[in-house]
Amino acid sequence: MFMATEVSDKVDNKVNVRVDVNLNNKEVHARSFWGLRIAALILVPILLLGVTEGALRLFDVGFSTSLTVPCTMQGRPASCYNLFFPAPFFPPGMIKTPQAYGVPVEKPSGTFRIFVLGESAAMGDPDPAFGFSRYLEVMLQERFRSMKFEVVNTGSVAINSHVLLPIAKGLAEQRPDLFIIYSGNNEVVGPYGPGTALASSAMSLPVIRGSIFFHSTRIGQLLTKIGTQKREWGGMEMFLDKQVPASSPLMSKVYENFESNLRDTIAVARGSGARVIVATVATNLKDCAPFASAHREGLTQGAMHSWSALVQQGSDFENARSYADALKAYSAAAQIDDQYAELEFRVARSLWLLGDYAASREHFSRARNLDTLRFRADSKINEINRAVATSSGVELVDADEILARGSPNGIVGSELVYEHVHMTPEGNYLLARAMLFQIAGGLPREKEEASSQPEISSKAASEVPSQVECEQLLALTQHDRLRMNREMLERLQKPPFTTQLNHSDQILRLTIKASVPDENPDETVSQYQWAIGKKADDRLLHYNFGLFLFDYNRAAAAEQLRMSRPWDGFPVFAPDGTPLG
């Protein structure tokens, strides 16, 4: 009996083992089956996308969005700006490009190559020929005669830090010695900002970078072309309905994204072996009233009525030049609502007229920070520039403070910044000089040379060229000053400038500057010919000279414009749109 039971138990155990094995095998097969299905669901679409992307590239559908493409400059190999690079950041029809530039593949011994990164203020708007990078280049060349300097300005209208990072990645391959980063004005209104009229305003940085990558692919380009209606660039007017209050929770993401992009850009630049200078951003405080204002949330109708009455009372006192009384009324209004940017500007202006410049600067700064059309870098952006430069161990040039020290009573106004952010020649010179001081300390020491060009420098070669000396070499003529003043005057007669509190003052100031009689054309020609004689390969000198000559001698103008090509084969047009071949 015992034996029979024992045998039965063994049989049952074997059966159970077989059942367990079969069950385990089924589970393994089931898991394998679902694993294969999941893998197929992931890998097959990826494979199909890869094949589609490859086919589009094979059949030349779309375009490369790398920063540069191979080209030749005066018959020599170079890397030239890719006109399609901005496509992932701008809707079709709204692509903005910088001044076209090329970088020679060969970098001669003794050459110091500088790349300037930034937006339109870094570019040198309204004319890049007179931006701070141009002043810096002639200063360096005059100060260090035994070296050669290549200063490549990559600044562009409407971009921001989301665009600067891929620019830095593209330039890191070009054997740079120094990166200068002058950025921060467009973090809200540029691509992927919360106040943009351009690319999507999604605020998560991984999502933004994913979107940039997608739009750089041929598939992304094709889908964008199919699904996006073509738009035209409309200037600052496009952003009128894109107001973002300082209290908006979106602003914290703006600052986080800017800091992350800046740190990553610095890391890329340093990884190339180059020095890095980060600059704060100078903005017009005194002569640029806020573009738009918003009341604080929760303001009752009664409080609004009281606030408006006090502001009107203050305005009446101000018009009567009773600035102390105006300040009292404005201060009472601020007790009700101190978030209205224009009120802060009124307070600042009254304090300025009363001679309290320290308090005035504080309120002018706060007026800019509260401006809901955020075309200017605010205080927080500049704090990030300072903090990141320090913590990253790179060099800092505090342009905000440098231009303030060069302004009446320490507050930046129209003497150094035309309207809101674009510097005058005087402002560009001050910033370039500060950059020179910063750069010079890290350059190889050289024997002091006596000036070989006494006609342009009354100083020893070891000293900084004056603004007049720089502008002789840049051919900044009276004609060019008038041309830029007239262009800025035209801009200020369009929104959002027309809605500013001090718009009439701005118009009057520029009208006076734009009404100065032009110089004798022969004198302008002489100045350009002299400057070109000093640097015959300066294409911007040829370009501006060609523009000037167009009204006097079209054949000579065409020849100068052809000589302004940034690279071989670049299309050149006359001011009237005629192709010059």
CATH number at residue 347: 1.25.40.10
pLDDT over threshold 90, residue 27: no
103/27 same-domain check:
no
Residue 42 counted as domain residue? yes
CATH number at residue 416: 3.40.50.1110
Q: Residue 60 — pLDDT band, cuts 50, 70, 90? A: low
- pLDDT value of residue 35: 60
pLDDT tens digits, one per residue of 387-426: 999 999 999 999 999 999 999 999 999 999 999 999 999 9
Query: What's the structural domain count of the chain?
Result: 4
How far is 292 from 420, CA to CA, in rounded Å? 13
- Domain end residue (candidates: 445, 462, 479): 462
pTM: 0.89
- Domain end residue (candidates: 370, 399, 423): 370
How far is 169 from 85, CA to CA, in rounded Å? 12
100/145 same-domain check:
yes
Residue-number span of the structural domain to which 95 is assigned: 68-287+383-462
pLDDT tens digits, one per residue of 200-241: 776 789 999 999 998 899 888 888 778 676 777 788 888 989
134/261 same-domain check:
yes
282/402 same-domain check:
yes
74/165 same-domain check:
yes
Q: Residue 37 — pLDDT band, cuts 50, 70, 90? A: low
- pLDDT value of residue 171: 98
For the record, the structure tokens of 54 come out as 């490859």
178/113 same-domain check:
yes
- pLDDT value of residue 23: 45
Partners of residue 78 on adjacent β-strands: 71, 104
18/129 same-domain check:
no
Q: What angle, rounded to 10 degrees, do the helices at 250-271 and 161-171 form? A: 10
Residue 511 counted as domain residue? no
94/206 same-domain check:
yes
How far is 543 from 549, CA to CA, in rounded Å? 10
Residue 497 counted as domain residue? no
How far is 426 from 430, CA to CA, in rounded Å? 6
CA 530 to chain centre: 33
- Domain end residue (candidates: 335, 370, 405): 370
* Residue 309 amino acid letter: A
How far is 268 from 303, CA to CA, in rounded Å? 52
84/144 same-domain check:
yes
274/146 same-domain check:
yes
139/270 same-domain check:
yes
